[in-house]
């Protein structure tokens, strides 16, 4: 059909091209609407899985493989779909960015769940990510907490991090207590700081150290422990113990821990 016929013979009263690159003749449009593009008529309001040339033709607003003979109208991509990190027009939200750049699928960006993102290191990062989403910064998560942030294992988790959770030693904004510091710097998990049990800490060697640590917590100084005693302090084996730790005993009930071993309270 010649599109210049003005749609004669079409129930929609309009004809034009769907996918011009397929060398097809003009076809009847699904509605009376069409758009003039380089002196040629292109049908619009095309449903999903219909051949297309440009995205404006598609009801979804997205022509996949636009400009090629294989182009088809498709729904816009859902949150988490793989796209270029700075090309959100393919996305239902209209926004794409990084989730966890160190370990995303195919090492590409993804569609954001909403239009919101923020900039860091001259790149965009999706925000308002749901639980279990890959993340790099806690600011990305709707919960406000990215566990193991800034690593390939970063994932959005529920709420603020509990006492003992791994965080930067001087950034307590991710902790329930609002405070983070060192427990035992010589032997912490992954050699990182941890959330403190309370807001209290003290400074030593130009760094912060959590205090009010409960029994069996890793420690470096006596002042860190709620009991006031850090056994094997200033060593990788430092741990908070009862005040009678090491005291002679013969019965378990003679010890605050109710554990008498080899004649000494443990």
Averaged pLDDT, 62-68: 90
Dihedral angle computed from the Cα positions of residues 110, 115, 118 and 123, in that order, rounded to the nearest 10 degrees: 40
Whether 229 is covered by a domain: the verdict is no
Q: Is the pLDDT of residue 34 over 50?
A: yes
Whether 167 is in a domain gets the answer: no
67-85 average pLDDT score: 92
pLDDT of 89: 86
- Tell me if 20 is assigned to some domain: yes
How is residue 214 annotated by DSSP? P
Residue 45 lies in a domain: yes
Give the pLDDT of residue 1.
45
- Assigned domain for 194 exists: no
Whether 69 is covered by a domain: the verdict is yes
Residue 38 domain boundaries = 3-73
Quickly list DSSP for 159-199. SSBPTT-EE-TT-GGGBTTS-EEBS-TTS-GGG-EEE-SSS
Residue 7: its pLDDT value, please?
Answer: 59
Burial label for 138, CB within 10 Å (0-12, 13-18, 19+), is buried
Length of the chain (residues): 266
Contact 166, 153 (CB under 8 A): no
Q: What are phi and psi of 40, to 5 degrees?
A: -135, 150
Q: pLDDT tens digits for 188-208?
A: 776 789 999 999 999 999 999
Q: Is the predicted pLDDT of residue 209 greater than 90, yes or no?
A: yes
Q: pLDDT digits over 212-261, tens only?
A: 999 999 999 999 999 999 999 999 999 999 999 989 888 899 888 888 89
Exposed, middle or buried: residue 210 (CB in 10 Å: 0-12, 13-18, 19+)? Answer: buried
Indicate whether 185 belongs to any domain: no
Give the total number of structural domains in the chain: 1
What distance separates the 2 farthest-apart alpha carbons in the chain?
107
- Neighbouring C-alpha atoms within 13 Å toward the C-beta of 112: 24
The mean pLDDT of 40-46, rounded to a whole number, is 93
Can you tell me the distance from the alpha carbon of 110 to that of 88, in angstroms, rounded to the nearest whole number?
9
pLDDT of 78 > 90? The answer is yes
Share of the chain above pLDDT 90, in %: 61
Asked whether residue 193 is domain-assigned, the answer is: no
């Amino acid at each position: 059909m010649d599109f210049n016929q003005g749609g004669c013979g079409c129930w929609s009263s309009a004809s034009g091209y769907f996918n011009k690159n397929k060398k097809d003749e003009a076809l009847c449009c699904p509605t009376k609407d069409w758009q003039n593009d380089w002196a040629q008529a292109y049908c619009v309001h095309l449903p999903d899985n219909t051949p297309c040339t440009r995205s404006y033709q598609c009801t979804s607003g997205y022509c996949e493989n636009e400009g090629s003979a294989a182009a088809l109208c498709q729904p816009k991509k859902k949150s988490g779909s793989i796209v270029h990190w700075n090309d959100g027009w393919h996305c239902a939200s209209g926004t794409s960015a990084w989730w966890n750049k160190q370990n995303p699928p195919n090492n590409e960006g993804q569609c954001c769940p909403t239009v919101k993102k923020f900039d860091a290191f001259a790149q965009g990062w999706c925000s308002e990510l749901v639980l279990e989403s890959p993340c790099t910064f806690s600011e990305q998560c709707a919960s406000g907490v990215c566990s193991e942030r800034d690593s390939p294992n970063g994932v959005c988790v529920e709420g603020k991090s509990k006492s003992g959770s791994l965080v930067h030693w001087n950034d307590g904004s991710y902790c329930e207590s609002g405070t983070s510091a060192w427990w035992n710097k010589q032997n912490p998990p992954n050699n990182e700081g941890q959330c403190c049990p309370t807001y209290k800490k003290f400074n030593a060697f130009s760094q912060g150290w959590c205090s009010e640590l409960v029994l069996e917590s890793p420690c470096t100084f006596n002042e860190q422990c709620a009991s006031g005693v850090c056994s094997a302090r200033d060593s990788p084996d430092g741990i908070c113990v009862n005040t009678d730790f090491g005291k002679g005993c013969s019965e378990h009930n003679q010890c605050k821990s109710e554990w008498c071993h080899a004649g000494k309270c443990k």
